[in-house]
Structure 1
Amino acid sequence: MRIALVGCGAVTQAVYVPLLSRRRDLFEVSAVCDLSRTLADAVGDRLGAARRYTAVAEMLADGGFEAVVVLASGSHGETVRQALAAGYAVLCEKPLALTRAEVAALPEGRLMVGYMKQYDPAVRRAEEVLAELGGPEAIRSVEVTVLHPSGESQLAFANLTQARDVDPGLLASLRAAEEELMSRALGESAPAAVRNLYGVSLGSICHDLSLLRRFTGSPAEISYVETWGDVPGSIEISGPLPIRGRFSIRWHYLEDYPAYRETVAVHHDQGSLELVFPSPYLMNAPTTLTVVSAGESRTDWREVTEAFEVQLAAFHAYVNDGKPPLTDVGGALDDIVTAQRIAARYAVQHALNIGGEAA
């Protein structure tokens, strides 16, 4: 399947370039696009894509591919809208957008939103175990802890090509547009603390929201939100699960922590399941699933199959065979709504301004 890539930054270079290089049985990269011609050339050279662009509209108009993979930073709403309107299938990295309005403006089309942890073999095995135990009705609680070092420390091994050739005026206009979207989501007068919380919720905590969607369904209510420490600091979120039990998420940004670590524990009527995720940038590093059942029996389960690679294969199956993705536009919208509920609960608790869609 011939594809085009939008965005040639860190995740593209560290994750997608090596995976697409070894899955030439499924994909041919026909075109790449980035604001930086330096990055477009670097990724194009590594993947053998002769056509390189710095404008999405021009790339879409030229065509020569069947699908678009959107990997750029920030909101992806407008790029996805353009690609769907042009008739292309789209795989879009999370988050799909910053506002519900962007999602509502999307035309009909084939859209898959990438939350690679949903495709992790350990997560799929945990889903099977939960189904055998009775599903969401058996869950007492879901407890998440994320220890998040800086992106620079996580990617120090990757020898990334850096972009230094993008017009500063263009970058400033893009940042202003992003702030306008944040204002539409949260209101013009939403303070920095609320905007930071919303950004982390959609940029990182959304992975945990996506797992909640798979295990129990999206939470319909947020009971409590707190933040502390220097921005982005630490965040705590809790509330009831949609069927039974409660969830809690504790997310900590630790600049110098030696390695990313994410733990998701599901406690149920007969024991617990614990998932421990490594850094997402370490290809084929296994997630560990530990199953503890009544009588203190314990089973550890690991598989080195790369979740990002399974996700890419699932996109191929979606476009060519019609196999539905794990997250479509509805699931991505659920996460945006939940992130807005998180921001609104925090604002109400601290008597801060909240407006826009989150109000």
Structure 2
Amino acid sequence: MRIALVGCGAVTQAVYVPLLSRRRDLFEVSAVCDLSRTLADAVGDRLGAAGRYTSVDDLLAAGGFDAVVVLASGSHGETVRKALAAGYAVLCEKPLALTRAEVAALPEGRLMVGYMKQYDPAVRRAEEALAALGGPEAIRAVEVTVLHPSGESQLAFANLTQARDVDPGLLASLRAAEHDLVSKALGEAAPEPVRNLYGVALGSICHDLSLLRRFTGSPQEISYVETWGAAPGSIEISGPLPVRGRFSLRWHYLEDYPAYRETVAIHHDRGSLELVFPSPYLMNAPTTLTVVSDAESRAHWREVTEAFEVQLAAFHAYVNDGKPPLTDAGGGLEDIVTAQRIAARYALQHDLPIGGEAA
């Protein structure tokens, strides 16, 4: 399947380039696009892509591919809209967009939203174990803890090509456009603490929201939100699960922490299922599933199959065989709504202004 990549930054270089290089049985990268011609050429050279573009409009007009993989930073809504309107299948890295309105504006088409943790073999095994226990009705609580060191430390091994050739005026206009989108989501008067919280919710915590969607369904209510420390700092979120039990989520940005660590524990009346994820940038690093069935019994299961690679294969199966993705536009929208509920609860607790869609 011939694909075009939009965005040639950190996740593309550290994750998608090595995976697409070894999965030439499934994909041919025909074109790449980035605001930086330096990055487009670097990724194009590594993947043998003939087409190199700095404009999404030029990329789509030139064609020569079957699908578009959207890996750029910021909101993906407008790029996805244009690609779907042009008739291409789309794999879009999370988040799908920053506003509900952007999702509502998407035309019909083949769209898969990328939450690679949903495709992690350890997660799929936990889903099977939970189903055997009775599904969401068996859950007493879900507890999530994320310890997040700096992106620079997580990516130090990758020797990334840096972009220094993008017009500062263009970058400023894109930041202003993104600020306007967040204003539509949260209201013009939303202060920086609410905006920062929303950014973390859609940029990182959304992975855990996507797991809640798989295990229990999206939370319909957020009871409590607190933040502390210099932004992005620490965030605590809790609320009821849609069927039974409650969830609590604690996310900590710890710049000098030794290594990324994410733990998702599902507690039920007879034991626990605990998932421990490594840094998402380390290819084939194992996720560990621990099944606790009584006081003396702990079963550990590890799988080094790369979740990003499984996700790519699932996109290939979706486009060629019609196998539905785990997250489509509807699932992406659910996570945007939950992120807006998180921002709104925090604003209400602290008597801060909230408007826009989140109101």
Matches within 5 A, 1:248-287: 248-287=248-287
User: Tell me, which stretches of 5 or more residues in structure 2 are unaligned?
Assistant: none
Matched, 1:241 2:244: no
Letter in 2 for 1:77: G
State TM-score, norm by structure 2.
1.00
2:87: which partner in 1? Answer: 87
Distance in 2 (CA, whole Å) between partners of 1:317 and 1:196 is: 37
1:18-55 superposed Cα distances (whole Å, 9 cap, x missing partner): 00000000000000000000000000000000110000
1:111-154 superposed Cα distances (whole Å, 9 cap, x missing partner): 00000000000000000000000000000000000000010010
1:290: which partner in 2? Answer: 290
Matches within 5 A, 1:69-148: 69-148=69-148
Distance in 2 (CA, whole Å) between partners of 1:58 and 1:161 is: 23
Letter in 1 for 2:146: V
1:70-116 superposed Cα distances (whole Å, 9 cap, x missing partner): 00000000000000000000000000000000000000000000000
Distance in 2 (CA, whole Å) between partners of 1:259 and 1:279 is: 7
SS of the counterpart of 1:145? strand
Matches within 5 A, 1:1-359: 1-359=1-359
**C-alpha deviation, 1:296, in angstroms:** 2.7
1:280-306 superposed Cα distances (whole Å, 9 cap, x missing partner): 000000000000003431100001000
C-alpha root-mean-square deviation of aligned residues, in Å?
0.4
**C-alpha deviation, 1:220, in angstroms:** 0.2
Letter in 2 for 1:197: L
**C-alpha deviation, 1:318, in angstroms:** 0.1
SS of the counterpart of 2:348? helix
Letter in 2 for 1:352: L
Distance in 1 (CA, whole Å) between partners of 2:243 and 2:285 is: 33
SS of the counterpart of 2:112? strand
SS of the counterpart of 2:82? helix
Distance in 1 (CA, whole Å) between partners of 2:340 and 2:35 is: 29
Distance in 2 (CA, whole Å) between partners of 1:219 and 1:54 is: 39
Distance in 1 (CA, whole Å) between partners of 2:140 and 2:236 is: 19
Distance in 2 (CA, whole Å) between partners of 1:175 and 1:35 is: 13
User: Tell me, which stretches of 5 or more residues in structure 1 are unaligned?
Assistant: none
Distance in 1 (CA, whole Å) between partners of 2:87 and 2:10 is: 28
Moved over 4 A (4+): none
1:187-228 superposed Cα distances (whole Å, 9 cap, x missing partner): 000000000000000000000000000000000000000000
State TM-score, norm by structure 1.
1.00
Identity of aligned residues (%): 90
Distance in 2 (CA, whole Å) between partners of 1:298 and 1:39 is: 47
**C-alpha deviation, 1:270, in angstroms:** 1.2
